[in-house]
Structure 1
Amino acid sequence: MQKIRKGDSVVVLTGKDKGRTGEVLQVLPKEGRAVVRGVNIVKRHQRQTQSQEAGIISKEASIHLSNIAIAGKDGKPTRVGFKVLEDGKKVRVAKRSGDVIDG
């Protein structure tokens, strides 16, 4: 089970986008990275294809998982732990508040 999943709201802890929040679009577990909407925007030169024009496009690049943290209900970054409920279900828990993270 992963601590950060697709669809989570996260806060950037370090780098040029420090303090910004965004939604996780994709998680790359083998590389230990994630793509976050509106964070780590880079410009790429795009060759023309049948479906896309040529030109310079802006898109999100991946960011290392150590540089992001899940945003709690108050919007502040929190670490993630795991807890096994009475019915045997394993859930993610916010360390700051102790709340169960929906997902």
Structure 2
Amino acid sequence: MGSAKIKKGDNVVVLSGRDRGRTGTVTQVMPKDGKVLVEGINVMTRHRKPSQANPQGGIDRIPAPMHMAKVAVADPKDGKPTRVRFEEKDGKKVRVAVKSGETIDG
């Protein structure tokens, strides 16, 4: 597999679902499943019974993975969603935002 279009640390915009329009940073990429984990987006609540490890119990808020197709890389210029293409600059393969032409990674 070549370079991924979405990488850990990218700023992304959610395209569909209840969090549509929100932006966040990718914390984990799961290429085999085609999913990404975005900080503060798609947060699920889990009700926990009291146990020896957690005697208080309570509600845990855990970010759930979402499909890569539901997010797009945010354009470095204006923060709007954009597609990504690869170009070679100074003998190095870099990701470039299609809308603005700006380099996404170094």
> Do they fold alike, i.e. is TM over 0.5?
yes
Tell me the distance in 2 between the aligned counterparts of 1:52 and 1:84: 56
1:16 deviation in Å? Answer: 0.6
Residue aligning to 1:77: 81
- The normalised TM-score by structure 2 is 0.86
Report the RMSD for the aligned CA atoms in angstroms.
Answer: 1.8
Alignment of 1:1-103 (within 5 A): 1-46=3-48, 48=51, 50=53, 54-72=57-75, 73-85=77-89, 87-102=90-105
Gaps of 5+ in 2: none
- Aligned length in residues: 102
Structure 1: runs of 5 or more not aligned: none
DSSP-derived class of the 1:44 partner: strand
Look up the equivalent residue of 1:30 and give its one-letter code.
K
TM-score (norm. length: structure 1): 0.89
The percent of aligned pairs where both chains have the same amino acid is 53
Mapped to 1, the partners of 2:69 and 2:26 lie a distance apart of 14
